C-alpha cells in the first residue's frame, strides 16, 4: 500500500484509515495525472479470503488504497484507533468519483460485467452527470483473456485517455487483475464488482438505516440466498472470532502501555 496513506491492519490486511472524502480526493488526484494505481473495496468476505489465501493477502498489501466497505470493518477500525473512520463503499465511490470527474474532465472506462448492465449504467450516468466523459465500456468473457486479447484491452484503455478504470470481475478475480495490470494500465483501477448491477438498477441497495446498522449483508442474503448463504456462513463466524481476538490483544497492549 502507498506508504503516504495511513492504514490499520484488520485481521492481517491493511485498510486505509482516511475519511470517505479524503479517499475520493486522492483517487481523483491520481486520475488527473493518469497514475497507474489500484483500489480494493474490502468487506468481510474479501478480508477472510485474504486471511486464508496468501496470494490475495499480498495483493491487498500491494494495493494503493483498501477501502472499508461494510460497517464491521469501520467498527473495527474505530476500536483500533481510527475513531473518525466512516464507510467507503463501492457504490458511493462510483457516484462520488463520477461526479468529481464530470467536473474535472477526467474520463472513465468500465471493464467487465455484461453489455446490458453496462448499457443501463451508461444511460443513468448520462442522466445524472451530463458532462461526464465515458471513454469506453468493455464487457469481458467469463474465461481468462488470451495474452493477445489482454494486450489489446490494455492498449484500448490507455489510448482512450481514461483516468479511472472501474473493474467488475468479482472478488477475488478483479483484485488479481488489477494487481497484474499495475504499471501497465495508465489509470486508477477500482474493483467495483457488486456496484455495477446495483447502479444499473438490476439489484436493489439496502436502505440507509439497514446499512448503518451493519445489516446490508442480511439484506443481500434475502435477495440472493442460494448464491450467498454459503459465503456468509463460511466467512462471518470466523471473522467475528478473529476480530474479537485482535481487539482483545489490542486492549491488552494498551493496558500494558499505561503508566502504573
Is 2 a residue whose pLDDT tops 60?
Answer: no
pLDDT for 259: 63
DSSP annotation string for 154-201: HHHHHHHT-SEEEEES-TTHHHHHHHHHBTTBSSEEEE-TTHHHHHTT
**Long-range contacts at 236-241 (CB < 8 A, ≥ 24 apart):** 236/44, 238/48, 239/11, 239/44, 239/47, 239/48, 239/72
pLDDT for 231: 80
Burial of 141 (0-12, 13-18, 19+ CB in 10 A): exposed
- Tens-place pLDDT, residues 106-116: 999 999 999 99
Neighbouring CB atoms inside 10 A of 41's CB total 27
pLDDT for 134: 98
Q: What is the reported pTM?
A: 0.94
By percentage, how much of the chain surpasses pLDDT 70?
97
Is 1 a residue whose pLDDT tops 60?
Answer: no
pLDDT for 47: 97
4 or 126: which leads in pLDDT? 126
pLDDT for 232: 83
- Tens-place pLDDT, residues 57-96: 999 999 999 999 989 999 999 999 999 999 999 999 999 9
The mean per-residue pLDDT over the stretch 184-193 comes to 96
181 or 256: which leads in pLDDT? 181
Q: Are strands 13-16 and 7-10 parallel, antiparallel or unpaired?
A: antiparallel
Is 3 a residue whose pLDDT tops 70?
Answer: no
Of 54, 89, 68, 90, residue with least CA distance to 18:
68
pLDDT for 86: 96
- Tens-place pLDDT, residues 104-147: 999 999 999 999 999 999 999 999 999 999 999 999 988 889 99
Q: What is the mean pLDDT of the chain?
A: 93
Is 13 a residue whose pLDDT tops 80?
Answer: yes
- Tens-place pLDDT, residues 223-250: 888 887 888 889 999 999 999 999 999 9
pLDDT for 260: 53
- Tens-place pLDDT, residues 196-211: 999 999 988 888 888 8
pLDDT for 166: 98
pLDDT for 220: 79
By percentage, how much of the chain surpasses pLDDT 90?
78
Amino acid at each position: 500500500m502507498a506508504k503516504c496513506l495511513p492504514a490499520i491492519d484488520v485481521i492481517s490486511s491493511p485498510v486505509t484509515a482516511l475519511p470517505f472524502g479524503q479517499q475520493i480526493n486522492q483517487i481523483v488526484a491520481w486520475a488527473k495525472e493518469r497514475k497507474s494505481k489500484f483500489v480494493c473495496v474490502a468487506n468481510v468476505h474479501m478480508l477472510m479470503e485474504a486471511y486464508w489465501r496468501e496470494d490475495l493477502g499480498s495483493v491487498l498489501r500491494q494495493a494503493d488504497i483498501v477501502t472499508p466497505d461494510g460497517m464491521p470493518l469501520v467498527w473495527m477500525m474505530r476500536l483500533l484507533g481510527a475513531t473518525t473512520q466512516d464507510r467507503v463503499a463501492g457504490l458511493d465511490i462510483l457516484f462520488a468519483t463520477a461526479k468529481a470527474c464530470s467536473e474535472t474532465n477526467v474520463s472513465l472506462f468500465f471493464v467487465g460485467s455484461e453489455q446490458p448492465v453496462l448499457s443501463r449504467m451508461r444511460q443513468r450516468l448520462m442522466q445524472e452527470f451530463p458532462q461526464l466523459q465515458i471513454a469506453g465500456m468493455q464487457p469481458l468473457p467469463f474465461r481468462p483473456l488470451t495474452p493477445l486479447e489482454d494486450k489489446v484491452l490494455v492498449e484500448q484503455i490507455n489510448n482512450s485517455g481514461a483516468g479511472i478504470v472501474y473493474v467488475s470481475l468479482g472478488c477475488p478475480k478483479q483484485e488479481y487483475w488489477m494487481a497484474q495490470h499495475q504499471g501497465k494500465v495508465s489509470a486508477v483501477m477500482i474493483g467495483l464488482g457488486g456496484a455495477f448491477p446495483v447502479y444499473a438498477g438490476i439489484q436493489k441497495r439496502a436502505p440507509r438505516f439497514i446499512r448503518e446498522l451493519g445489516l446490508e449483508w442480511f439484506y443481500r442474503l434475502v435477495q440472493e440466498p442460494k448464491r450467498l448463504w454459503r459465503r456468509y456462513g463460511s466467512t462471518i463466524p470466523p471473522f467475528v472470532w478473529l476480530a474479537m481476538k485482535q481487539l482483545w490483544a489490542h486492549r491488552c497492549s494498551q493496558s500494558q502501555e499505561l503508566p502504573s
